[in-house]
């Protein structure tokens, strides 16, 4: 562990930042000088002048962009987006996670988790009392970050596993590009480095990511030597304690109106499925008393034929220990809701009035006889909830609340204006890099390349500022490519949407299929440069 220990000023020796335009220019010049010896320069210099005029025309025509994009179709914030074909009529069984799937919480919950975990760090794990001064900062984290247990950095990665240039924080300080390269050698995370990374993929990780960064910053400010892996282990232990001890559950149930968000549309969706003779099951890691209290509150204004929300479900499984549930041999136990005890008899069938604990996928399929392709499971955690079902042959649906807000931003005039400018700049950059210029007369080439790169940085920055102030968009990088979080959605979710009730807008017989022209994420609309070719 000695090699992994970090000191306060471990980043202070780093060399000055190297700007992207200079780096790109040197690469371009090397390529151009190699080719110019065989292809000549006159035509290339004329082409550069032509591209320069095209760039000047584009800048004069920027004001026409809003008119050009006005009639472009917008993405539906409440839509269902498809990675793999799903025919709803073939689905006979619907399974649901509880937290952030059937239930949704106010912003107060992240503050509560953060505060309880922070106190556990100080009171039980003897962290400095100065850690108590920090408060949860909702503007800082996004979902899908990684923590490097070796170097102590919070990272945002792109679809291909490279560090986002503006997405690396040591504590609460953003590292510049030269510091990133000093630490990692390159922006790309290799296989060995990836083993040191911990993914923060669910909504509960907002408070965890913030607490990790604040704790690292506390050690930095106090000039204390520390081991980055210990910070993660202790913060994660504190977060787990908040959940496993029941502290968070009791607090939520004591003030449900403060933490839980009622939504009658969820009940409408579940009731519609029952009326269509679909089978429903609940599979959650939360304890039953917490789920029971939450569901009773969320549905207290609805009218049941009976007297319990459990009548909506054919099977109710609590404390399932996902993701272990999907690959273990743990037996199911019948849970006595009155006595708060577990029965010792073997479970060979599921009864509608019973509640079950633990279990495993193997036994679940043996008991129910439900075939994989006819089952769809809804969850918010891509790794804990959906990776196991995806590999088991179930259909999977991710419920991602942030999707709605990010689509609204992408539909906005400000974002599309910058995206259109960026498309034009990328088109011109492609032409510049494909042009042969002599070494002797490369000044015009370098000047144009620098201007285009400066314009590209301005567009990226303007688009990024519309999202999270620290890490930008959840699904996109600053370059406009999909993020690592988007990669996991693409890999483990057949379909994804912002909330369950969005399915009410689709007929139960609908056939959901990805658009034929989509490369990766179907909700990310691109503005092509060709749209402005007539300007």
Catalytic center residues: 97, 99
Is 97 marked as binding a ligand? Answer: yes
| Nearby residues of 378 by Cβ (< 8 Å), 6 or more positions away | 94, 95, 96, 97, 101, 397, 398, 399, 500
Q: Which two tokens stand for residue 63?
A: 């004001």
- 308 contacts 291 by C-beta, under 8 angstroms: no
Catalogue the E-assigned strands of 387-475: 395-399
User: For residues 437 and 160, what is the distance between their CA atoms, to the nearest angstrom?
Assistant: 32
Given a contact cutoff of 8 angstroms between Cβ atoms, the answer to whether 149 and 196 are in contact is yes
Contact 81, 496 (CB under 8 A): yes
Cα-Cα-Cα-Cα torsion 213, 216, 221, 224, nearest 10 degrees, comes to: 180
Interatomic CA distance for residues 286 and 249, integer angstroms: 9
Residue with tokens 């890691």: 285
Instruction: Give me the phi and psi of 526, to 5 degrees please.
Output: -110, 145
CA 521 – CA 481 distance, rounded (Å):
10
Helix (H, G, I), strand (E, B) or coil at 407: helix
With both helix axes pointing from N to C terminus, report the angle between 247-254 and 108-123 in degrees, rounded to the nearest 10: 140
Phi, psi of 173 (to 5 degrees): -100, 125
**Is 137 annotated among the ligand-binding residues?**
no
Cα 478 to Cα 496: distance, rounded to the nearest angstrom: 22
Residue 427 annotated in ligand binding = no
Binding site as annotated, residues: 97, 99, 380
Binding site as annotated, residues for Mg(2+): 97, 380
């Amino acid at each position: 562990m000695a090699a992994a220990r970090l000191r306060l000023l471990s980043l202070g020796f780093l060399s000055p930042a190297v700007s992207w335009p200079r780096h790109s220019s040197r690469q371009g010049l090397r390529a151009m000088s190699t080719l110019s010896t065989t292809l000549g320069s006159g035509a290339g210099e004329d082409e550069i002048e032509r591209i320069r005029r095209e760039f000047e025309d584009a800048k004069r025509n920027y004001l026409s962009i809003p008119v050009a994009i006005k009639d472009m179709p917008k993405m539906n914030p409440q839509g269902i987006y498809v990675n793999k074909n799903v025919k709803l009529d073939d689905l006979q069984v619907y399974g649901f996670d509880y937290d952030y799937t059937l239930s949704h919480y106010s912003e107060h919950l992240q503050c509560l988790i953060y505060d309880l975990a922070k106190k556990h760090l100080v009171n039980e794990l003897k962290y400095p009392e100065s850690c108590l001064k920090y408060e949860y900062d909702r503007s800082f984290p996004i979902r899908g970050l990684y923590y490097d247990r070796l170097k102590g950095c919070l990272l945002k990665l792109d679809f291909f596993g490279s560090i986002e240039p503006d997405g690396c924080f040591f504590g609460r300080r953003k590292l510049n590009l030269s510091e990133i390269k000093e630490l990692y050698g390159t922006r790309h995370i290799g296989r060995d480095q990836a083993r040191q990374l911990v993914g923060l993929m669910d909504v509960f990780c907002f408070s965890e990511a913030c607490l990790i960064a604040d704790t690292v910053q506390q050690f930095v400010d106090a000039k204390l030597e520390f081991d980055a892996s210990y910070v993660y282990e202790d913060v994660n232990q504190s977060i787990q304690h908040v959940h496993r001890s029941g502290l968070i559950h009791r607090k939520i149930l004591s003030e449900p109106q403060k933490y839980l968000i009622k939504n009658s549309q969820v009940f409408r969706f579940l009731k519609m499925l029952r009326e269509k003779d679909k089978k429903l099951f609940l599979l959650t890691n939360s304890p039953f008393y917490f789920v029971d209290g939450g569901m009773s509150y969320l549905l207290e204004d609805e009218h049941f034929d009976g007297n319990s929300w459990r009548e909506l479900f054919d099977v109710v499984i609590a404390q399932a220990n996902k993701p272990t549930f999907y690959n273990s041999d743990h037996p199911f136990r019948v849970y006595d809701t009155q006595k708060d005890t577990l029965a010792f008899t073997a479970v060979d069938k599921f009864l509608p009035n019973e509640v079950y604990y633990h279990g495993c996928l193997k036994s679940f399929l043996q008991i129910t006889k439900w075939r994989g392709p006819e089952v769809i499971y809804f969850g918010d955690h891509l790794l804990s909830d959906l990776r196991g079902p995806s590999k088991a042959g179930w259909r999977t649906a991710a419920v991602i609340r942030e999707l709605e807000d990010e689509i609204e931003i992408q539909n906005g005039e400000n974002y599309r204006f910058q995206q259109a400018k960026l498309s034009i700049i990328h088109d011109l950059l492609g032409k510049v890099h494909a042009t042969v210029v002599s070494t002797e007369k490369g000044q015009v080439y370098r000047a144009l390349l620098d201007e285009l790169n400066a314009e590209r940085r301005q567009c990226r920055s303007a688009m990024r500022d519309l999202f999270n102030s620290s890490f930008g968009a959840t699904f996109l990088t600053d370059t406009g490519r999909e993020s690592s979080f988007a990669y996991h959605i693409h890999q483990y979710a057949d379909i994804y949407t912002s909330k369950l009730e969005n399915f009410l807008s689709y007929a139960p017989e609908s056939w959901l299929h990805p658009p034929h022209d989509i490369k990766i994420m179907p909700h990310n609309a691109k503005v092509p440069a060709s749209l402005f070719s007539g300007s």
